[in-house]
Structure 1
Amino acid sequence: MTSPHRPTRRRILTTSFALGASVALGLPATARARDAAAGGDVVPVDWQRLGSYPAQDAAGRRVRTILAGSSRYLIGPWYASTYRTYLPDGYIDLKGTDERAIRLPAMAAVATTTALVTGVYDPATLSAANATIRTRNLIRTLAARHLANNSSPATRWGNGWQTALWAYYTALAGWLFWGELDDKARRDIAAMTAWEADRLTTGNDLFLVGTSGHQLYEKRRDGTVVTPGDSKAEEDNWSAAVLSLAEVMMPGHPRAAAWKRRNLELLLAAAARPADLTGTTTVNGIRLSSWLRGTNIADDGTLDNHNILHPLYMVAFDQSLYEGFVYGLADRSAPRAALHNITRVYSALVDKPFTAPDGTVKTIYQPGSGRIHYPEGNDWGTHFPFYFGNFDLLVSLTAQDTGIDPAAATWERLHNEEQLSLMARFTDGRTYGASGENTYYGREHRIGAMAGQAFLTLFVARNTTKNRLRFA
């Protein structure tokens, strides 16, 4: 599934720059009308304005190495063993419409697009030209199969519990790769993104979607436990992600204001704690005590999932912090709501003592080590250093570790050095070996998606022009 056409890495970047320039000058009215009919005017990333990021700082070198290895594995061996044929309509066979079929290639696309457009991609085993072709295949197929663009019950996806996240990954990859996509793929991405964002604006201050079904909170204001042992924090902030991206990609869309407001609401609901239900705190124009109708985390910053106090879901607030780079790529400030209670959650990881059955006392982060203590166990496996190193980096870059000792930068080094040690066991860029290390079937793709988004956050914060990682 390769082609004799071999654009260089420089061509990828140059194409993106040229498209940014065409938007600045103004598209012809007919082109703009077609775009609006397909879901709104998408404003591409202006890479020339953003400058470059050579990643010479220590944290940057670590994340660059992780991204280079992961993207090389995903678009190389994994893609080659997964996608072998085109279907009659010219798209690759995704082999289903479930999480495995949609989320995994979407995460792979995030990793590879980021690596290609930032110059991180390692062509040691697959040229940048062929990586571009494969990545384009993933993006255009995923967008075309979304129900906004596809009427076939056999191949369409969307309107599901997790599909906002899948749409976010696909749209992010498409936005980064805009200059490498044809008009059909662009229209499909815009329509998919707008459709999933619109669905989420039907919710209110109690429900994620509509007036029943998906909940915003684990616990209601009156003390009712709606979903015992299952915080809704992760669902709220992955849903916020597609709303933020829709609003940033299509700022002139008629529904952009509604997407912006709902993004704020979901970010605040995700990190809501009991103390937020009283008082006078207002964030981005929303008074917490008036709008919130429940909570997802405890006052000490911990949360539960799968019926245990679960550190892996505490660091799932990475999705909230990624909004910094989404807005930064458009040279805009991200909403302060994305930072709500992050310092409290991080303090619980670093400083909060937990007493074990044998009477010993431990913190989740182990002093001087990359190891993690799980106070009530971990049902996902044994090796997750980058999940924490990624969060450490984001907390450090957004200065949400104020008053916490050791600082997040110290933990980033410990956890990401541990991640690099895992990757050093293999020659193809992968992280994991035995299934028990991480039992999620998309474990390699999760590493790639995190690495891509972490690197983009570094890019907007430490590029050669100015720091665009801002919150207001």
Structure 2
Amino acid sequence: MPSLPLPSRRRFLGAAGAIGAAAAFAGTGPAEAVDNDVVPIDWRNLGTYPGADAAGRRVKEILAGSSRYLIGPWYAATYTRYLPDGYIDLKGTDERAVRLPAMAAVAAATALTTRTYDERTLSAANATIRTRNLIRTLAARHRANNTDAATRWGGDWQTALWAYYTALAGWLMWDALDATDRGQVAAMLIWEADRLTTGNDIFLVGTSGHQLYMTRTDGTVVSPGDSKAEEENWSAAALSLAAVMMPGHPHHARWTRRNIELLLAAAACPADLTSDETINGIRLSSWLRGTNIADDGTLQNHARLHPLYMVAFDQSLYQGFVFGLANRAAPRAALHNIDRTYAALVEKPFALPDGGTSPIYRANSPEIYYPEGNDWGTHFPFYFGNFDLLVSLTGQDTGIDPAAAKWERLHNQDQLTLMSRFADGRTYGADAENTYYGREHRIGAMAGQAYLTLFLARNTTGNRLRWR
């Protein structure tokens, strides 16, 4: 893959007064380990993927539009000044201040490195500068690199996910980062990954606080209506990325083991508690101490059976591309019970309010049926189309009818219909469509990771999505 375009070394004001920072390019050889043993992606051995197949065209268009919006108008309106230390002003340390730019960085970094970026309103060179701004500032503000309690983030229940997004974007654009940036990206990810290895088969971190299961083996419901699946697979994501980026690090084995543990706990169902199956060295009946999903593949969140959290297992399936970027096989644990959950979306009947039944996926329609309602809004086609694509590419729809590829087409075409309402690449209009304040950023992060999965599955060197 060609190197990224070289940005100017001078600071400049972009459209709407957005700021930029000079990016120093210091390329490394594809097998050279630098900065805490980070091994850069060897793009030359991964072939090319033009996104010319039907699913590829849809996801490519979603990614191009979303990244153009996020690194263009959104960035310009959000980041208008430097702080005295030369970093952009994140305006806080909470989810809005950290997760949102991290997701935007994933979208933009993917679009730039896979040559899907749309330059119609901002050049690739300037988009590269802005993306680097996000990555370097987020990493510098993490507590691994920052002693200022007023401006640092990290060590909270969701921060492993924010670190994963930031480090993934940084790894994709490694050549655009200088030595300081690289070291801080690595330190941030190491800190969050190491924190997660302190947990056990009951607790996420340490020996108290957040537990791994909604329901314990003795029947105790630890968190009524609140599956722990999502936070475990996003925590596993940080562990997987650390292990892949830094295969020679002294903590590699611990990260690898804990990644597998969290993947299995996230998708554990009652049948697993008596199963003799061993996955990646872990016997389910011996290690698991509870469950997060039902045997029928459904799960609860926000005190309801919640389809949006069923498709949050996308984060487990993204491990295919993370390992594939290093030409390695992902752990089989990432696929555990995905087929159960997908069957529940496509085939399981649920009662309708006026009588009769319907699956969550409505026949021959992009419409989603929420059996117990949806407290997040009304329009989420790409959340489902993204999951459909991942299920199809990983073969987790075997025996399920209709197959995932059909649903991907329906849901992602509906996503493109939403986007067609706007000229700037965004998806949403009225807040009621999706009430999450990071709704555009969520679309961008999903699109980036979905396209990377397609890239690894359908590149010119052959399918790199492998499972061991």
Amino acid corresponding to residue 281 of structure 1 in structure 2: E
For residues 204 and 454 of structure 1, the distance between their equivalents in structure 2, rounded to whole angstroms, comes to 31
Match of 2:28 in 1: 19
Residue 62 (structure 1) aligned to one of 54, 58, 63: 58
Match of 1:386 in 2: 382
Match of 1:323 in 2: 319
Judged with a 3 Å threshold, the aligned counterparts in structure 2 of structure 1 residues 85 and 106 are, in CA distance, closer, same or farther, namely same
Give yes or no for the alignment of 1:295 onto 2:291: yes
In the TM superposition, residue 5 of structure 1 has moved relative to its aligned partner by 4.9
Match of 2:369 in 1: 373
Residue 217 (structure 1) aligned to one of 213, 222, 238: 213
Match of 1:237 in 2: 233
Residue 107 (structure 1) aligned to one of 78, 103, 112: 103
2:392, 2:405 within 8 Å by CA — same for their partners in 1?
yes
Give yes or no for the alignment of 1:398 onto 2:407: no
Give yes or no for the alignment of 1:82 onto 2:78: yes
Give yes or no for the alignment of 1:446 onto 2:442: yes
TM-score (norm 2): 0.95
Deviations 1:168-192 (A, max 9, x none): 0000000000000000000001100
Deviations 1:103-128 (A, max 9, x none): 00000000000000000000000000
For residues 269 and 409 of structure 1, the distance between their equivalents in structure 2, rounded to whole angstroms, comes to 28
For residues 140 and 164 of structure 2, the distance between their equivalents in structure 1, rounded to whole angstroms, comes to 14
- Return 5+ residue gaps in structure 2 as ranges: 1-5, 11-24
In the TM superposition, residue 4 of structure 1 has moved relative to its aligned partner by 4.6
Judged with a 3 Å threshold, the aligned counterparts in structure 2 of structure 1 residues 147 and 338 are, in CA distance, closer, same or farther, namely same
Instruction: State the SS of the aligned residue for 1:65.
Output: helix
Instruction: State the SS of the aligned residue for 1:41.
Output: coil
Match of 1:169 in 2: 165
For residues 20 and 421 of structure 1, the distance between their equivalents in structure 2, rounded to whole angstroms, comes to 42
Deviations 1:78-104 (A, max 9, x none): 000000000000000000000000000
For residues 275 and 96 of structure 2, the distance between their equivalents in structure 1, rounded to whole angstroms, comes to 44
Deviations 1:227-267 (A, max 9, x none): 00000000100000000000000000000000000000000
1:20, 1:43 within 8 Å by CA — same for their partners in 2?
no
For residues 313 and 132 of structure 2, the distance between their equivalents in structure 1, rounded to whole angstroms, comes to 29
Residue 408 (structure 1) aligned to one of 404, 408, 423: 404
1:20, 1:47 within 8 Å by CA — same for their partners in 2?
no
Amino acid corresponding to residue 204 of structure 2 in structure 1: L
- Return 5+ residue gaps in structure 1 as ranges: 7-14
Match of 1:131 in 2: 127
Match of 1:431 in 2: 427
2:7, 2:128 within 8 Å by CA — same for their partners in 1?
no
Deviations 1:53-89 (A, max 9, x none): 0111000000000000000000000000000000000
For residues 287 and 322 of structure 1, the distance between their equivalents in structure 2, rounded to whole angstroms, comes to 24
Amino acid corresponding to residue 19 of structure 1 in structure 2: T
For residues 419 and 96 of structure 1, the distance between their equivalents in structure 2, rounded to whole angstroms, comes to 31
For residues 73 and 124 of structure 1, the distance between their equivalents in structure 2, rounded to whole angstroms, comes to 11
In the TM superposition, residue 51 of structure 1 has moved relative to its aligned partner by 1.0
In the TM superposition, residue 356 of structure 1 has moved relative to its aligned partner by 2.4
For residues 138 and 247 of structure 1, the distance between their equivalents in structure 2, rounded to whole angstroms, comes to 23
Size of the aligned set, in residue pairs, is 449
In the TM superposition, residue 3 of structure 1 has moved relative to its aligned partner by 7.2
Richer in helix (by share)? 1
Percent identical pairs in the alignment equals 77
Deviations 1:114-165 (A, max 9, x none): 0000000000000001101100000000000000000001100000010000
For residues 326 and 463 of structure 1, the distance between their equivalents in structure 2, rounded to whole angstroms, comes to 15
Match of 1:196 in 2: 192
TM-score (norm 1): 0.94
2:47, 2:461 within 8 Å by CA — same for their partners in 1?
yes
Instruction: State the SS of the aligned residue for 2:28.
Output: helix
Residue 256 (structure 1) aligned to one of 234, 252, 267: 252
For residues 424 and 179 of structure 2, the distance between their equivalents in structure 1, rounded to whole angstroms, comes to 34
Instruction: State the SS of the aligned residue for 2:194.
Output: helix
For residues 215 and 79 of structure 1, the distance between their equivalents in structure 2, rounded to whole angstroms, comes to 36
